[in-house]
Every structure is written in structure tokens, then in C-alpha cells.
Structure 1
Amino acid sequence: MNYVVLHSDLGAWAVAICIGIAVCVLLHAANRMLIRRLGMFAQSTATYLDDLAIRILGATHPVFILLLGVWAAAQWLVLPPEAAALLARLAIAVLLLQVARWGDVGIRDWLHHYRSRRSAEDAASTTSTAALGFVARTVLWLIIVLMILDNFGVNITTLVASLGIGGIAVALALQNILGDLFSSLSIVLDKPFVVGDFIIVDDIAGTVAYVGLKTTRIRSLGGEQVVFSNSDLLKSRIRNYKHMETRRIVFGIRVAYQTGKRQLLAIPGILREAVEAQPQASFDRAHFKAYGVSALEFETVYYVKTADYGVYMDVQQAINVALFERFAEQDIAFAYPTQTVYFANAETDAKVHEEAHA
């Protein structure tokens, strides 16, 4: 007797079961073999991508493989239209869930690797990258859930519109917090500065101590901690001295008005020699700049070939000492604030007054 179950005889069911088992076994074996081959390849490379691929493939769920085997077996059977449609929808739903699982594992593992690599030089970025990972994973799962609902025939237009309206309302209510959050992500991704950099924001100078989700904290030169909101910080002009390659130095000296012409003409050359004698300095110019209130003013410009502030101060000190010695040799006097008062003779002043009214 030929038994028929769900429009298919026992022979068809036997073939379908064999096909399903074979597909499951082959997919499982292929997944394990691919993971093993990638593992062998990863041992000979320094890149992280092959390690990430191994972890993503390792997240393949057995239910996903089982349902693929069931779907392959069902192609050999003659199923009612309703059952075939339901099976197809289930297969698509499981495929979407598996894609979401792969994406979730990939995001979490990549962010963990990023935080581990940067924890030594920018420990505070872990907070922001954790927030970024949470947002990315939430968006991924939300999209997958909407696709699954749409696959089962649910009208998601109203749901998407409701989510959009709700999102706008939440964004308006939390715009300051969200602004600081996205500014934090901008700091982490664009890296205008990192923890440990010496920066100047407006008139506040200090070292970046922490970059959080809402605030960035700077340890000022006075020792106190200055807290900026991330949005306000990115709206300001930031000068990052950590990335300086050279320093441009402008300094002036003042000599007395009693300085003779020969001495006056010799001063730019003396300034040049003092700067060029320093191996870490590159001379630019030295000029008699102006007649000051109580002194003759000279201006010198040079470059320090390193951003190290200590080196700059050592160079400037050496230049100052050299100028002190050379000026003493040339009998050139440094100026200091002075004021000369002239007193007119009383008789001469009266005579001039009478002649003016004659």
C-alpha cells in the first residue's frame, strides 16, 4: 500500500529526510572546515580581519543549519501552499536572525579589539566606543526585527512612522544630551585630541584627562580640573600642542638710547650669532624694530626644531646668556624703564614769555 502524508508518499518523505540530513551535515562540516582553515591562516598573519572572520563564523547557530536542511528537504515534497509559504517565511526569518547574530558578534568583537588596542594611550575612549557599539547593535537588531515582521506580512509602515515620531520627540527632549553624545563619538572617531594631549581652549590650557559621553575633563596648569561639555568643546577653537613639530619663537630686547651707531648696527649680527650657536635652533631674522618710550627695541625670530617646551627654554636661556656676555664685551647697555625730566631756567623762561607778548 502506498501511504500519502501531506500530499507526498513515503518514498518522497524518505528522500526528503535524506536530503535534509545531508544538507545539515555538509553545512556543519563546511563551517567547521572553514573555521579550521582560517585558524591555520590566522596564525601566520598579523592582521585582525581573519580572527574576526573566525569569530563571526563561530557564531553560526545550529538551528540555522537545521532549518536550511529542512527547507532543502521540503523542496522534494509536495506541500500545501500554506505550509510551503510558512516554511519559506520561517527560513527567511531564521536567515535574518543569523545575519543579525553575525553582525552583533562582529560589532562587539571589533569594538573589544579597538578598545584593547587603544586602552594604553586613550583609556577614556572605551566609554564612547561602548556607546557607539550599543547604538550600532540596537540599530542592527531593530532593522532585522522590522524585516522579519514585514516578511510575515505585518504592515510596518505605521510602526515605522510611530518610531519616527517617537524618535523625533525623544531627540527634542534630549537634544543637549544627544548633542554631547554625538560630539563624544566625533572626538573618538576624528581624534582632534586624545587623553594626554596638551591643548588650549580659549584661555584655558591643560592636559586632557578624560573624554566621556557627555563631558571632557582637562587638568589645567594650576592643577584644577576644568570640565567642558563635548558640544561646547568642539565649537571652540582648540590648539593641540601635542602635534607640534617646531616652535616659532619671537622675543625682543631693549637697549638704552645712549647706544652709539656702531653698536646699534652690530646688535642684529650679535643676535644672529647667539641663535645660530644653538644646534636646536634655526635663525629666521633679527631687526631694529622701533623707538620705544624709554629704549631702542630689537625683535628676533627663530624656530626650535622640537616641540619639547623644556628644550625651548634651554635654548632661550643659552641665547640670553650669550647676549649678556657679548653686550658686556661691546659695552652695550640693556635698557630698563626710565623717565627723564627737564627743568627750564626760571629767568630764561620769563624772558621767552616777555618776547612772546612783545
Structure 2
Amino acid sequence: MTFPFLARLPELPELPDHLRQLSILHTRPEDLALAVMVTILATVLMYSARAYVVRRVERLDKRRPSRIDHLATTMLSRTYVVFIVAFALYFGSTFLELTRRQELFVNRIGLAALLLQLAIWGDTGLRAWRDQYRFGGDGGRLASSSVLCFISRLALWVIVTLMLLDNFGINITTLVASLGVGGVAVALATQNILGDLFASLSIMLDKPFEVGDFIIVGEVLGAVEHIGLKTTRVRGLGGEQVVFSNGDLLKSRIHNHKRMQTRRVAFILRIAYGTPEEQLCRIPRLIREIITAKPNVDFERAHFMTWGEWSLDFEVVYHFRSPDYILHMDAQQDIFLEIYRRFEQEGLQFAHPMSIVRLAEQDRATLGQGGRGARPAAPPLH
């Protein structure tokens, strides 16, 4: 291998004939001296570049904190000098006349050093990503992120170990086949647990809900307390704790009320039959005046909707500009009380469930005689 930049280096002085005939590793002394110089120069350059990049990224991270800068700084700080020296020795060995066996050994050592350094960088980056949840206050996702980090690190080191074994000439085909068969057996035996585990990872990555969110799942209403590896725990309205399997939870339809921007409220006003037409026509305008006067409320409509069995039904719809349930109930209470107050002032009556029974003339006459009338004769028997 030749390097153009070496042509500009000053020529080394010629060695005496008795030293020229000496050889180390079947290499002339001047070639060995050149290889040592290249090794030292490569070591200094790589170490200096590492230190410069780390300082530069740390300066940027202090000026503008960023997760990427923090991860890069953490990973580069785990660059070991022993691997830098191994890379430098590999570069220096290219200037030596080595035998095929020696060259193969040097190549394997260089590749092994590269694989180990990449594995250390990856392992450090995964652990730094996990620690962002640990020290960032997101305790609800710490368990899931820890499991994902563990699986990723395990896969990383397994792959690197297999590549190292293959690099040193060990046949790994049988080992990979054995690991595959064993993995299938374990997956079949623990498919329910693995299903919940991957459902937990899906919840962590997709984030359909988080700890503290108020959700509705089927008939269960409550706040999410904990998102674990296998189960998610919800504190119900009655104070009880409801435990869901992560796999079953993702199969259900989830209503997340914490991410609600506004609340749509619809209710029915039932007015008594017999109310004058003029008063019925005033009801929509009256409802509009009451609702538009309230803060954080957008009136939508109020209409005479249908003829009920015992009432005249008006449907009212408005939007409350806050997801807070307590504030919504306070506003609705104020609206209801104001409607009741104004209806009393206007003389409007709310309808009450009632039924009217009409009697025939003969039954009325019988009731008028106090029930003393003759009883009808029984039908003749045959």
C-alpha cells in the first residue's frame, strides 16, 4: 500500500552496510523505523481529534442543550486509548513486509479492535438514552425503556461476539442455528408474556396515553397510575385500582380525556305541553343569551327538537374551551341555575312525566254510582 503524502517526507539517511543487512520480522530497519513513526503519528492524530471533537460538542451542549449533543459527547468520551493504539499499529504495519500469516493476524486484531470500539459506543449510547428517562422525571416509562435498552444491548453484544468469532476463523454456523432453534422454543413458551412486553414497548413508542392521563376503556374510567412491563394500572373513580394486561389494553378502544382540547356539551330541556307559542319562540333566544354571557363557553345552537310523549323537547349544544372536568361542571352548573331562574321569571314550566287515562261513558257512570252497579253475568257453561 502506498500513500502520496509520504513522498513529501524527508528521506531518511542511509544506514551503514552492517546495519542494512540486519532485519527484524523480515523487515529492513528503515522500513521498521518508518512504521514506528507512522504508528506514533496516527496515535497522536486520532487522540487529538477525539479530544477536539469532545471539547467542541461539550461547548455546543452548554450553549444550546441538546440530547444529540449529549449522546455524542457521552459516546466519544468512551473511546479507549488501547483501541486507538491498535488502529495506529494497524496503519503502521502497512509499511512492513509481513508474511501472509502475520498480515492475517494484524488484520484480525485491527478488525477486532474496531468492532469492540463500535460496540462500546453503541452500548454507551443506549445506556445514555435510558438514563434520560431515569433522570428526566418520566418514571412511568422507565421500566419499558430499561427493557428496550436491555434487549438492544443484548442483541448488540451477541452480534459483535459472533462477528469476532467469525473474524478469528471460528465456524459460527452451528452456533447461530442453535440460537435460532432455542429462540423459537422460548418464544413459543412465553408468547403471552412477550406479547404484553412488546405491547408495553408499543405504548412507550406510540404514546396513546401517559401516566396521569384520564382514560376510558370499556366501562372503566380512571387515571393511569403505572405503565409496567406486563400490566397497566388505572385508578378508577370509585378509588379501586383496575389492572389491564398491556396486550388486551391495546386491543381495546381507548378514550383519552386529558388530550381533549374542548368539551362538547349537549342536553335536553323538556317544556310542559300547553305552553303558549310566544313563550316557546322565546326559549332559543333566552338560552343563547344565558350561554353567551358565560366565559370560556361557545354557544352552538338551541332548537325545538321533537314532540315527546309528555313534553316539548328543546336540544341545546355548546362548547367549553377547556379540558378540565371540574371547570366544565362549574360552568354547566351556572348555566343550569341561570336557566331555572329565567324560566321562573318568564313563567315557563318544566314538564314532568305524566300519563292521562280516558274512561268510557259506561265506566264513568259506574264510578259515579260508587261502584254499586250490578256485576255482569258470567257466560253460560256448556
Which residue in the other structure is 2:11 paired with?
none
Offset of 1:6 from its aligned partner?
A: 2.3
Aligned AA (2:345): E
**What CA distance in whole angstroms lies between the structure 1 residues aligned with 2:179 and 2:363?**
98
Task: Name the CA distance, whole Å, in 1 between partners of 2:281 and 2:31.
Answer: 110
Q: Secondary structure at the match of 1:320?
A: helix
Distance in structure 1 (CA, Å) of the matches to 2:364 and 2:46? 119
Aligned partners of 1:129 and 1:234: how far apart in 2?
A: 18
Tell me which moved more, 190-199 or 2-11: 2-11
Q: Can you list the C-alpha shifts for 1:52-103, whole angstroms capped at 9, x where unaligned?
A: 2222111111221121122122222222211110110111011111110111
Matches within 5 A, 1:109-120: 109-117=128-136, 119=137
Count of matched residue positions in the alignment of Structure 1 and Structure 2: 347
Number of the residue aligned with 1:102: 121
Aligned counterpart for 1:81 among listed residues 97, 100, 115: 100
Q: For residue 354 of structure 1, what is the aligned residue in structure 2?
A: none
State the shift of 1:49 in Å.
2.1
Instruction: Tell me the TM-score normalised to structure 1 length.
Output: 0.91
Aligned mates of 2:102, 2:53 — CA distance in 1: 34
Report the Cα offset of residue 12 of structure 1: 3.1
CA contact (8 A) 2:148 2:201 kept: yes
> In structure 2, how many angstroms separate the alpha carbons of the residues matched to 1:30 and 1:167?
42
Instruction: Give a deviation string over 1:146-193, Cα, whole Å, max 9, x none.
Output: 222222233333332322222222111111111111111111111111
Matches within 5 A, 1:45-64: 45-64=64-83
Q: Is this contact kept in 1: 2:83–2:113, CA < 8 A?
A: yes
Contact 1:115 1:129 in 2 (8 A): no
Three-state SS of the structure 1 residue aligned to 2:345 is: helix
- Aligned match for 1:8, one of 8, 11, 27: 27
Aligned twin of 2:267: 251
Residues of 1 paired with 2:94 and 2:280: CA distance?
102
Alignment pair present for 1:277 and 2:293: yes
Corresponding position: 1:287 with 2:303 = yes
Q: Find out whether 1:194 has 2:213 as its counterpart.
A: no
Query: Which residue identity lines up with residue 59 of structure 2 in the other structure?
Result: M
Kept in 1: contact 2:133–2:141 (CA 8 A): no
2:63 partner SS: coil
Q: Return 226-235 or 313-322, whichever deviates more.
A: 313-322
Between 193-202 and 289-298, the greater mean CA deviation after superposition:
289-298
| CA–CA distance in structure 2, aligned partners of residues 181 and 338 of structure 1 | 57
Residue pair 2:196, 2:247 contacting (<8 A) in 1 also? yes
**Equivalence for 1:154:** 170
Contact 2:272–2:312 (Cα < 8 Å) also in 1: yes
**321-330 vs 83-92, which moves further:** 321-330
2: CA distance, partners of 1:252 / 1:326: 16
Map Cα deviations across residues 197-247 of structure 1 (whole Å, 9 max, x no partner): 000001100000000111100001000110001111011000000011111
Q: Deviations along 1:282-323, whole A, 9 cap, x unmatched?
A: 122212222223222221111111112122212222221222
User: Which one of 232, 238, 250 corresponds to residue 248 of structure 2?
Assistant: 232
Q: CA RMSD in A?
A: 2.0
Within the alignment, does 1:332 sit opposite 2:348 as a pair? yes
Percent of aligned positions that are identical:
46
Contact 2:311/2:351, CA 8 A, preserved across alignment: yes
Partner amino acid for 2:79?
A: T
Q: Indicate the larger mover: 326-335 or 226-235.
A: 326-335
* Equivalent in the alignment of 1:141: 157
Higher relative contact order (CA 8 A, sep 6+): 1
Contact 1:64–1:94 (8 Å) recurs in 2: yes
- Retained in 2: the 8 A contact 1:96–1:144? yes
Deviates more, 1:195-204 or 1:304-313: 304-313
1:101 to 1:257, Cα distance in 2 relative to 1, 3 A: same
Deviations 1:121-162 (A, max 9, x none): x42101111111111111111221222222223333333232
Residue range with higher mean Cα deviation, 279-288 or 244-253: 279-288
The partner residue of 1:185 within 175, 193, 201 is 201
Q: 2:13 corresponds to which residue?
A: none
Structure 1 gap ranges (5+): 351-358
What is the rounded CA distance, in whole Å, between the counterparts of 1:40 and 1:346 in structure 2?
103
Provide the residue aligned with 1:356 in structure 2.
Answer: none
In the TM superposition, residue 349 of structure 1 has moved relative to its aligned partner by 7.2
Shift of 1:347: 7.4
In structure 2, runs of 5+ residues without a counterpart are 1-17, 367-382
Q: Distance in 2 between matches of 1:267 and 1:15?
A: 100
| One-letter amino acid of the structure 1 residue matched with residue 119 of structure 2 | A
Q: Which residue identity is paired with 1:170?
A: V
